[in-house]
Amino acid sequence: MSDCCTTATIDVPIEPRVPGKIRTVALVGPPNSGKSTLFNRLTGLRQKVANYPGVTVEQRVGRLNGIGRSDLTLIDLPGIYGLDRYSEDARVAVEVLQGEMPGTPAPDAILLVLDSLQLRRQLMLAAPVLALGLPTLLLLNMSDLMEARGGRVDTLALAQELGVPVAKISAARGVGLDAVTHFLNRKAEPVEAPAPGRIELPVMGNPRSYRQWAHGVSSRTKYKAPISSEWTRRIDGVLLHKFWGPLIFLAVVFAVFQVVFSIGQPLSDGFGAVLNGAGDAVGRLMGSGWLESLLIDGVWRGVASVLVFLPQILLLFLFIGVLEDSGYLARAALIADRVMRSIGLNGKAFIPLLSAYACAVPAIMATRTIENKRVRFATILVAPFMTCSARLPIYMLMIAAFIPNKPLLGDLFGLRAAVMLSLYLLGFVAALATARLLKSSILKASSAPFILELPQYRLPTVRSLSLRLMDRGRVFLRQAGTVILAVTLVLWVLSHFPAHVALGESLIGRVGHLIEPVIRPLGFNWKIGIGLLTSVMAREVIVGTLGTLYGADPATQSLGLQAALRHDLTLGGAMALVVFFAFALQCTSTLAIVRRETNSWKWPALQFVYMGVLAYLAALATNQAILHFVR
Amino acid sequence: MVAIALLSEFGADTADEIELSGAWKLSQLSELPIGTIGVVESLDLPGEIQHHLMHMGFVPEARVVVVRRAPAGDPTVYSIDGFEVALRRDTAKAIRVREYEQTNTR
């Protein structure tokens, strides 16, 4: 992986700083100021995403292609309220701005973005930024919205007050960006007279004096905030209503889920069939041989096993995107906070954990909305316990093979459904127990506070949604793809050497035989052992592996495999296997994403071992219990 | 709902400009009923959170409006400097405010 190492590797050459000459521009702004949208606009989506060395703060760097200045580099700093190193984000921002961040060039100019809808408050950040003394352009974002809602500000007076140029823009619509071009062209000239006049800045390091200063500046520049919160408040009156609020919340959650499963699952399945079909077709053209096997069975199947998740992941992110951009996500967090708090998390963890029922990968990527690092890590550690869709193939195979279709509560709820439901519950309980465990360990130190900004409602734009989807899709493919490819190749080599032997005799087969004594108490044989090994790549892979091992006829594979399994395994072993899958982290994509989001192999390794040990113990208990108590 | 009525008349941002007169008493922000205005007196929270809140506008003399509570009764939504932020009771408890008692004539 080229872009996710502990030392940031960014394709930006560190150039000596030449006075008056601009090479690097820093984008600074508070959270929710529309900074990311502006960054995407200015760079035309050509950007590199990495982490700053040693921290989980994300670094985005790109060339200013969006305004035709591909010679200039734009660095997107984390969203911050001040420059007092009060948090990891703020510390990173200060270090970058002062040129102390290793691997990141010192900026020659600053674009300061503030949300003009709440300019009075956001101006507080202007004081410490202006005090840095770098050439700065102040961009008043969402000014179209401000004016449409009856707000106004005298930009000329503001520019005089602050001693820097000021421009009204709308990043979402791409309006006013020529001000950036103009500013950079002018500032890029070698000689620039220092800004004349006296600028009064507040006493540094004191939020109270920043606030007084900011209020003074906004009243002197005739700032009038838009009158808009009225209808936001009216909507909140319904969406946060004591009775209707939770009801609407549940309806939204249910609708999202229904769509992800009823559209996303078939979409993923269909996409998978197309990918495998294409692989088979190319394979037939190539004829058979080890190269064909390596490319089709190894590389292509591996890539396909990642790609099949893509439709579901994108669909889920579309929903999360709509919820977040519209402003509802914050309300959902507010409603869910009470429940989530009881397990040591907070309201913002709810939607990610819910998404994990479809797939842990987007869930873990969605934890970025949780600012509190401890809560975020706890959510990441808990998410893979939720029963994701990749567990369903093995659940369904084993239940169909071993559980009789006996009605329990009428025809609708039978024994099979009951077993399936218990598996879902098992994952949920494991997640709760783990969260509890974390609450008394890593979450203990501070009773993680919860500060939730409630943005005004607005309509999500197609552009910002599609940018987000492209971004998330790319992150997933690159991170999961590279790791998956490596694991696939290793597994292919292990299953195909020595050449011309059956899978049971291959290297991986020998390992399967080797671990048989360890998994025997769980009721597993060496074939299941091989399945456990190959499914480290992805859970559903075990079904295909078992199919190969039991030599089932592809045409009647499902029924043939069920019969073979019934012949070869006990009920205890079969149930132990599904319990094992309920707990174990058999998913390379998840490991890769956790590695990326936590910027360390420590967390995915810990998670893999923890879930593996739990899976082993639970499977052992299941098998032994069934051996002794079920006749 | 006097405060809310006042606010809708002038837009949410004007909480700061409303002339307040009348009796004041000290209390915790978490104790204020919906619709009242409190003036921040002091904060007593661990470093990072305190800083975060102060940069969001919770500084002495800032005016906070209690807007509504979450359906479960906690957290509570407050309005400060024209935007809304939700705080849990535990956090709001650590913010001392002067409560404005609604005896004003406006």
Instruction: Note the pLDDT tens digit of each residue in A100-119.
Output: 888 788 898 999 999 888 88
Nearest to B49 among A211, A246, A449 (CB): A449
Give me the torsion for CA of A267, A272, A273, A274, rounded to 10°.
Answer: 90
Asked if A39 and A74 count as a contact pair (C-beta separation under 8 A), the reply is yes
Q: Do B51 and A84 touch (CB under 8 A)?
A: yes
Residue A200: count of CB within 10 angstroms of its CB: 11
Instruction: State the residue range of the domain holding B72.
Output: 2-14+24-100
Task: Quote the DSSP letter at residue A170.
Answer: B
Across the range A355-378, mean pLDDT stands at 85
What are B69's two structure tokens?
Answer: 């509570």
For position A72, what pLDDT does the model report?
86
List residues bridging with A59 in a β-sheet. A50
A149 at B interface, C-beta within 8 A: no
Q: Which helix (H) or strand (E) holds A134?
A: none
What are A386's two structure tokens?
Answer: 């939720």
Q: How far is B78 from chain A (nearest CA, A)?
A: 10
Across the range A458-469, mean pLDDT stands at 82
How sure is the predictor about A552, in pLDDT bands with cuts at 50, 70 and 90?
A: low
Is B47 among the domain residues?
yes
pLDDT digits (tens, 9 = 90+) for A63-87: 888 777 778 889 988 888 888 776 7
Give the start-end residues of each E strand in B4-82: 24-28, 37-43, 63-69, 76-80
Most confident of the following: A201-205, A431-435, B54-58: A431-435
Q: Higher confidence at residue B100 or residue B20?
A: B100
Distance CA A436, CA A382 (A): 10
For position A20, what pLDDT does the model report?
54
What are A136's two structure tokens?
Answer: 């700065």
A229 at B interface, C-beta within 8 A: yes
Across the range A482-488, mean pLDDT stands at 74
Least confident span in A180-189, A204-213, A298-307, A554-563: A554-563
* Chain B residues with beta carbon closer than 8 angstroms to that of A121: 56-57, 81-83
Name the domain count of chain B: 1
Q: Higher confidence at residue A354 or residue A47?
A: A354
What are A121's two structure tokens?
Answer: 């408050």
For position A89, what pLDDT does the model report?
79
Annotate B60-86 with b (16+ C-beta within 10 A) or e (fewer): eebbbbbbbbbbbebbbbbbbbbbbbb
Percent of chain A beyond pLDDT 70?
87
* Chain A residues with beta carbon closer than 8 angstroms to that of B71: 240-243, 245-246, 335
pLDDT at A226 over 70: yes
Asked if A241 and B87 count as a contact pair (C-beta separation under 8 A), the reply is no
* Chain B residues with beta carbon closer than 8 angstroms to that of A211: 57, 59, 62
Is B19 among the domain residues?
no
List residues bridging with A109 in a β-sheet. A25
Interface with A, mutate which of B52, B63, B87 (most A CBs under 10 A): B52
* Chain A residues with beta carbon closer than 8 angstroms to that of B86: 330, 334, 337, 450-454
Distance CA A467, CA A465 (A): 5
Distance CA A108, CA A12 (A): 14
Could you give the angle at which helices A541-549 and A392-402 cross, rounded to 10 degrees? 50
Q: Which of residues 380-409 of A touch B (CB under 8 A)?
A: none
Q: Which of residues 109-148 of A touch B (CB under 8 A)?
A: 118, 120-121, 124-125
Is B57 among the domain residues?
yes
**CATH code, domain with B54:** 2.30.30.90
Q: How far is A227 from chain B (nearest CA, A)?
A: 5
Distance CA A474, CA A403 (A): 41
Is B73 among the domain residues?
yes
Distance CA A384, CA A381 (A): 7
For position A1, what pLDDT does the model report?
36
Q: Which helix (H) or strand (E) holds A382?
A: helix A373-382
For chain A, what is the radius of gyration of the CA atoms?
28
Q: How far is A603 from chain B (nearest CA, A)?
A: 24
Asked if A28 and A93 count as a contact pair (C-beta separation under 8 A), the reply is yes
Task: Quote the DSSP letter at residue A538.
Answer: B
Residue of A nearest to B10 (CA): A227
Is B106 among the domain residues?
no
Distance CA A549, CA A527 (A): 7
Q: Do A451 and B11 touch (CB under 8 A)?
A: no
Distance CA A421, CA A419 (A): 5
pLDDT at B73 over 70: yes
- For residue A498, is the peptide bond before it cis, meaning its omega torsion is within 30 degrees of 0? yes
For every residue of A320-371, DSSP letters joined together read HHHHHHHTHHHHHHHHHHHHHHTTT--GGGHHHHHHTTT-HHHHHHHGGG--
Residue of A nearest to B88 (CA): A450
The distance between the two most distant Cα atoms of chain A, rounded to a whole number of Å, is 92
A215 at B interface, C-beta within 8 A: yes
pLDDT at B43 over 70: yes
What are A568's two structure tokens?
Answer: 């070869």
Is B78 among the domain residues?
yes
Strand, coil or helix: A318: helix
Percent of chain A beyond pLDDT 90?
21
Edge-to-edge strands of the sheet including A24-28?
A47-51, A58-64, A69-76, A24-28, A109-115, A136-141, A166-168
pLDDT at A334 over 90: yes
Strands A166-168 and A136-141: parallel
Q: Do A86 and B72 touch (CB under 8 A)?
A: no
Percent of chain B beyond pLDDT 70?
72
Residue of B nearest to A245 (CA): B71
Q: Do A124 and B55 touch (CB under 8 A)?
A: yes
For position A13, what pLDDT does the model report?
39
For position B62, what pLDDT does the model report?
87
Query: What's phi and psi for A170, nearest 5 deg?
Result: -135, 105
For position A354, what pLDDT does the model report?
84
Query: What's phi and psi for A595, nearest 5 deg?
Result: -55, -45
Is B105 among the domain residues?
no
Nearest to B85 among A208, A341, A452 (CB): A452
pLDDT at A2 over 70: no
How sure is the predictor about B65, in pLDDT bands with cuts at 50, 70 and 90?
A: very high
Distance CA A90, CA A130 (A): 16
For position A540, what pLDDT does the model report?
81
pLDDT at A227 over 60: yes
Q: Higher confidence at residue A303 or residue A494?
A: A494
For position A53, what pLDDT does the model report?
65
Q: Do A450 and B75 touch (CB under 8 A)?
A: yes
Distance CA B94, CA B104 (A): 27
Nearest to B60 among A87, A208, A449 (CB): A208
Q: How much is the pTM?
A: 0.77
pLDDT at B20 over 70: no
B6 at A interface, C-beta within 8 A: no
Q: Which of residues 26-65 of B touch A (CB under 8 A)?
A: 45-49, 51-57, 59-62
pLDDT at A292 over 50: yes
pLDDT digits (tens, 9 = 90+) for A129-178: 988 888 899 999 988 888 887 888 888 889 888 888 999 999 888 888 88
Distance CA A493, CA A399 (A): 32
pLDDT at B95 over 90: yes
What are A469's two structure tokens?
Answer: 């989807």
Instruction: Identify which of B30, B68, B32 has the alpha carbon closest to the alpha carbon of residue A240.
Output: B68
Instruction: Identify which of A219, A26, A232, A40 has the alpha carbon closest to the alpha carbon of residue A110.
Output: A26
Asked if A70 and A11 count as a contact pair (C-beta separation under 8 A), the reply is no
Instruction: Identify which of A52, A47, A103 has the alpha carbon closest to the alpha carbon of residue A74.
Output: A47
Q: Do B85 and A453 touch (CB under 8 A)?
A: yes
Least confident span in A255-264, A533-542, A601-610: A255-264
Q: How far is A447 from chain B (nearest CA, A)?
A: 9
- For residue B71, is the peptide bond before it cis, meaning its omega torsion is within 30 degrees of 0? no
pLDDT at A625 over 90: yes
Nearest to B52 among A230, A341, A451 (CB): A451
ipTM tops 0.90? no
Distance CA A480, CA A592 (A): 5
Across the range A81-102, mean pLDDT stands at 82
Across the range A42-57, mean pLDDT stands at 68
B93 at A interface, C-beta within 8 A: no
Across the range A496-502, mean pLDDT stands at 74
A242 at B interface, C-beta within 8 A: yes
A447 at B interface, C-beta within 8 A: yes
Task: Quote the DSSP letter at residue B32.
Answer: P
For position A599, what pLDDT does the model report?
82
For position A110, what pLDDT does the model report?
93
pLDDT at B94 over 50: yes
Which residue blocks in A163-206 are alpha helix, DSSP H? 178-188
Distance CA A567, CA A549 (A): 14
Structural domains in chain A, CATH included, are 24-226 (3.40.50.300)
pLDDT at A3 over 50: no
Is B41 among the domain residues?
yes
For position B9, what pLDDT does the model report?
39
Least confident span in A126-140, A219-233, A360-374: A219-233
Distance of CA A630 to the CA centre of its chain: 43
